[in-house]
Amino acid sequence: MNQLEKKNIRHFTLAELEAYFLEIGEKKFRAKQVYEWIWQKYARSFDDMSNLGKELRGHLSQSFSLPALSIDAVQNSIDGTIKSRFRTFDKHLVEGVLIPTEERKTACVSSQIGCSLTCKFCATGYMERKRNLTFDEIYDQVAIINKQSLDTYQQKLTNIVFMGMGEPLLNYANMMKAIERISATDGLGMSPKRITVSTAGVAKMITKLADDGAKFKLALSLHAATDKKRNEIMPINETNNIGALTDALNYYYKKTKQHVTFEYILFQNFNESLKDAEDLVKLYRRVPAELVNIIEYNPIDDSKFAKPSEDRVEEFMNYLEKNKVNARLRRSRGKDIDAACGQLANKG
């Protein structure tokens, strides 16, 4: 049986593995041992499972596959950020980033190989979407970046953000399953409250998140507070306009009682005027948003946008503060290795 014909062992539940071991005449507890190896000890192969006999390991290898992400390249920023390019079992490349600060060690992970949304300011948007990542591939990113954090900073990850390559809500099932495994006590055991999913805005899937009782945090990549401007830079707005998103976010809050965060990149001569700030204030008051992250623009090869002057940024921030908007200016990290917000494109 070749690797493609074998079933991925990580796509089996513990109960299914228990049934498998009983079927082949093994003790039921073997399933828990294997489950610990694949989700907590991060085994890369069946040979790693040292508390299983050689014969049993060979049997598992004949019956199942264990495709895991491998590290293709690593880049280190002068600010301590670490960008990893991962290689999938079918030879695709995808990136993840470790973002360290004094208070936090954050993993920025991808949900798709490429992206179909073609946002004009994002390097990933200029790539073709190859496929969705499976939930175990998303999990692998977190596990690898967690090990990098331990090795480099002697600290486990404190936070995870789905802000890498791809649109998480267009890979809904795998995203949700990955978060379930990441937060499970027999997985990485991370609280869902420390996980943020960022979306460009898929209204019906935000509604589904609400109906499914999502426990993690939700962020909307807004970047313009009117349909006219948002249509220019984010084509998804033509089918998921601000009115639809406002309704979905209000429904989300009603069902989950969780506030959302707006993300807003400032672009010179586009969305950084006081009129733009006024439009943002009006939208902020229409939805249960607890925070607006104002993000500095990071240049990419294919885009003609530029970042505004520091004076203009300060003026914009002051207007928000004066109008009682809880806003925070987020300085990007890892710009020197194309690891900052909007720069992921498998370079380097």
Q: Give dist(CA 215, CA 51) in Å, integer.
A: 36
CB 216 within 8 A of CB 196: yes
Q: Could you tell me whether strands 289-296 and 260-266 are parallel, antiparallel, or unpaired per DSSP bridges?
A: parallel
Q: Is 95 annotated in the active site?
A: yes
Instruction: Exactly one of 108, 119, 122, 341 is catalytic; name it.
Output: 341
Q: Quick one: which H or E segment has residue 179?
A: helix 172-183
Rounded Cα distance, 313 and 308, in Å: 7
- Written in H, E and C, the secondary structure of 3-50 is CCCCEEHHHCCHHHHHHHHHHCCCCCHHHHHHHHHHHCCCCCCHHHCC
Asked if 234 and 200 count as a contact pair (C-beta separation under 8 A), the reply is yes
Contact between residue 99 and residue 333 where contact means Cβ atoms under 8 Å apart: yes
Collect all residues with Cβ–Cβ distance below 8 Å to 310 and sequence separation of at least 6.
Answer: none
What the block records as the tokens of 192 is 């869902």
Of 95, 137, 167, 272, the active-site residue reads: 95
**What backbone torsions phi and psi does residue 145 show, to the nearest 5 degrees?**
-65, -35
Residues in the chain: 348
> 119 catalytic, yes or no?
no
Residues 6 or more apart whose Cβ sits within 8 Å of residue 48: 37, 41
- Catalytic positions are 95, 341
